[in-house]
Amino acid sequence: MEQFRKLGIIEPVIKAIEEQRFTAPTEIQVKSIPYVTAGRDVIAQSATGSGKTLAFGAGIIKSCERGRGLQALIVTPTRELAEQITRAMISFSRHKPLKIISVYGGVSINPQIEGLPTADVVVGTPGRILDHVDRNTINLRNIKILVLDEADRMLDMGFIDDVQKIIRECPRQRQTLLFSATMYEEIIHLAKRYLNSPVNLVAESYVDASKLKQIYYDVPDNMKFSLLVHLLKNERSGLVMVFCNTRINTDFVAKNLRKNGIEAMAIHGGFSQAKRNRAMDSFNSEKVYVLVCTDVAARGLDIKGVSHVYNYDIPKNSKDYIHRVGRTARAGHEGKAVSILASRDHDNFRQVQGDSSLNIECEPLPTFERVQLNFGLRREPRGGRGRDGRQGGGRYGGRGDGQSRGGPRRFHHDSQGQSRSGFRPRDGQSQGRSHYGNRNRDDRQSNR
């Protein structure tokens, strides 16, 4: 615990850390906590899962006192992250009790209204915080510490104006801590405008690139889902995340995985908060081992033990891709990122491969059976767009799921391992480590 003590963390938090069996501080904790606990403004670039909650939580718990009104506000992009941070803060402050509550949309506002008058720390999403401001049910005039967590994600989701309104509701004399995986120009402008002589810190990726194997398969348009089933049944080792670009595809894939005997649950912004919580609880407790999700689950959430990430739909750019694959190969563990390409994915994948830091290798197709699909869900029009405006295609996002309803058929790759769809990779695969970034608005409204 001496390594934590040297950072300026108070003894009640040290005791909580010891009870949680933390062994050593992470890079971002080492770099930021001395400045945070000293009251300095901080801009910290750090990846998801790198220990940021303790980094800003140590300062909040040191500075805040029970029963003196709302003293700290943590602004986050999503409901799940708000809940996660709240639980962590309650745990870290168990030996110096503070009243810490979360406020976000999708649930009744009345319990929040009842809890806010006696809250010491609030964790919330931008839209719901502003709802309380408009109702005069939250008082930000005495905020001592303002935390903007996952700032780039809030920018991606279109919350930048809301965030600025919240900042202006807080007193000018305050400590501001801004954490972001990537530093867009807009975030730098925000920091210059609202932070006071901040310390700029950068921590390397929490993902161990040397332990992350990145591959892609190029499949005929009607074999995409069948290959996913084959891989899930033959490569199971830990928890698995399957990413889709739209809510419709997410529901479709999860439902059909279950039809094929694979324990899977979906999560996206169209679900009620209770349903999203149940899905995350089931996944974190390993009651199900496959989580099918939109990019709402790619950022911020602390999901341990993910061994495989599958891109069932290919994201539009390398930043989205890197956010997704960053869920695995963490904290020294090995991981695998698998992208499954049909013809509709080629344009997006070329954009992803344009990032020279990525090394995604083509893998020969295995021999696998075509599986039955249930087309009971509402279909996207051929060549159309999904609910978040991304390119769709045929059934449920394109020709990639257009399997017949007949019996099982076996598919064999050719002698070079190339599929009939004929994707041509870029010349020369580049080596390099991953970094972080994201632009997806699919679940913005659901997280207000």
Final residue of a domain: which of 202, 228, 263? Answer: 202
* Span 96-117, average pLDDT: 96
Enclosing domain of residue 134? 2-202
Q: What is the mean pLDDT of residues 72-85?
A: 93
| 215 and 362 both lie in a single domain | yes
pLDDT at 300: 57
Q: Are residues 344 and 226 in the same domain?
A: yes
Q: Clarify whether residues 167 and 282 are in a common domain.
A: no
Q: Are residues 250 and 187 in the same domain?
A: no
Q: Span 269-291, mean pLDDT?
A: 81
What's the pLDDT band for 433 if we cut at 50, 70, 90? very low
Query: In this predicted model, what pLDDT tens digit does every residue of 133-189 receive, in sequence order?
Result: 999 999 999 999 999 999 988 988 889 999 999 999 999 999 999 999 888 788 999
pLDDT of residue 435: 34
Whether 154 and 262 map to the same domain: the answer is no
pLDDT in tens, 240-269: 999 999 999 999 999 999 999 999 999 887
Q: What is the Cα Rg of the chain in Å?
A: 23
Lowest mean pLDDT among 10-24, 370-384, 393-407: 393-407
Given pLDDT bands bounded at 50, 70 and 90, which one contains residue 194?
very high
What angle do the packed helices 318-325 and 346-353 form, to 10 degrees? 80
pLDDT at 222 over 70: yes
Rounded mean pLDDT, 191-218? 85
Banded model confidence at residue 355, pLDDT cuts 50, 70, 90: confident
Top-confidence range, 79-83, 91-95, 186-190, 289-293? 91-95
Higher pLDDT among residues 215 and 401, named by residue: 215
User: How confident is the model over 314-324, as pLDDT tens digits?
Assistant: 999 888 888 88
Tell me the three-class secondary structure of the chain, residue by residue: CHHHHCCCCCHHHHHHHHHCCCCCCCHHHHHHHHHHHCCCCEEEECCCCCCHHHHHHHHHHHHCCCCCCCCEEEECCCHHHHHHHHHHHHHHCCCCCCCEEEECCCCCCHHHHHHHHHCCEEEECHHHHHHHHHHCCCCCCCCCEEEECCHHHHHHCCCHHHHHHHHHHCCCCCEEEEEECCCCHHHHHHHHHHCCCCEEEECCCCECHHHEEEEEEECCCCCHHHHHHHHHHHCCCCEEEEECCCHHHHHHHHHHHHHCCCCEEEECCCCCHHHHHHHHHHHHCCCCCEEEECHHHCCCCCCCCEEEEEECCCCCCHHHHHHHHCCCCECCCCEEEEEEECHHHHHHHHHHHCCCCCCCEECCCCCEECCCCCCCCCCCCCCCECCCCCECCCCCCCHHHCCCCCCCCEECCCCCCCCCCCCCCCCCCCCCCCCCCCCCCCCCHHHC
- Both 219 and 197 in one domain: the answer is no
Whether residue 308 has pLDDT greater than 70: yes
Domain check: are 251 and 158 in the same one?
no
User: Is 295 or 262 the better-scoring residue by pLDDT?
Assistant: 262
Q: Are residues 261 and 370 in the same domain?
A: yes
- Residue 78, domain CATH: 3.40.50.300
Beta pairing partners, 112: none
pTM: 0.67
Q: Is residue 217 domain-shared with residue 156, that is, in the same domain?
A: no
pLDDT digits (tens, 9 = 90+) for 144-157: 999 999 998 898 88
Q: What is the pLDDT of residue 443?
A: 46
What percent of the chain is modeled with pLDDT above 70?
A: 80
Instruction: Tell me what pLDDT residue 447 has.
Output: 57
Q: How many domains does the chain have?
A: 2
Tell me which of 218-222, 266-270, 430-434 is least confident. 430-434
**In the structure encoding, which two tokens stand for residue 177, read together?**
């801590």
Do 179 and 107 lie in one domain? The reply is yes
* pLDDT > 90 fraction of the chain, expressed in percent and rounded: 57
Q: Which residue has the higher pLDDT, 222 or 123?
A: 123
Judge if 18 and 152 occupy the same domain. Answer: yes
The overall average pLDDT reported for the chain is 82
Is there a single domain that holds both residue 118 and residue 19? yes
Among 182, 202, 222, where does a domain finish? 202
Query: In angstroms, what CA-CA distances link 240 with 283, 303, 342, 355?
Result: 9, 10, 21, 25
The whole-angstrom separation of Cα 85 and Cα 76 is 9
Q: Would you state the pLDDT for residue 65?
A: 96
Q: Which residue, of 202, 221, 238, is where some domain finishes?
A: 202
Rounded mean pLDDT, 102-108: 93
Side chain identity at residue 230, one-letter code:
H
